[in-house]
Structure 1
Amino acid sequence: MADRRREVLTRVYGDVQGVGFRAWARDQATSLGLAGWVRNEADGSVTAQIAGLDEAVSTMIERLWKGPVGASVSRVDVDELAVQHALIGFRIIA
């Protein structure tokens, strides 16, 4: 089952805007071979949809709890999604 795919929608709360969180998340996801997107939300949180191998997605969720230097993460919500296989690459949504 090491090659099982997983897709999640995450919401990261805390001081996560204005600290390079989206670019950091894109770089982390790319290094893990993940696909998806990341965007800032009006309430100050950051949302990311992440798809890839289960182990890589789990690693990315762990990294979201830490964030980049300057971020202070207070909560990460994770919702499991049906795997769609449609996401290619990882991008920042403005």
Structure 2
Amino acid sequence: MEPLVLTNSEEILKLLTQVTLKGQGFTTECLVAEVLDAGLYEPDFLNASGVDPEAYYNGEPNAWANYHIRMSKKVFMVYGGPNKVRTFHIADTP
């Protein structure tokens, strides 16, 4: 997948509804559910990059490995990739 940057909340949430993460570590059937649970109801920035064979977009493998999703000062980050244990982190930036 090509690196992707989005700044429209509706587009970000729509994209995240199509992302499934499988494999080792942090997994989810629908990444948007995790983002909403973290309190990012209107994200204003998404940066997706890398390739992960255990990440799926629209049911197809090899979606993005890393996701940085931001709403105001709150950031939801997912880090993965081939042969890596996927992790996630939620932080408030200064």
* TM-score normalised over the length of structure 1: 0.30
Instruction: Decide which structure has greater helix share.
Output: 1
User: How does the TM-score come out when normalised to structure 2?
Assistant: 0.30
Higher relative contact order (CA 8 A, sep 6+): 1
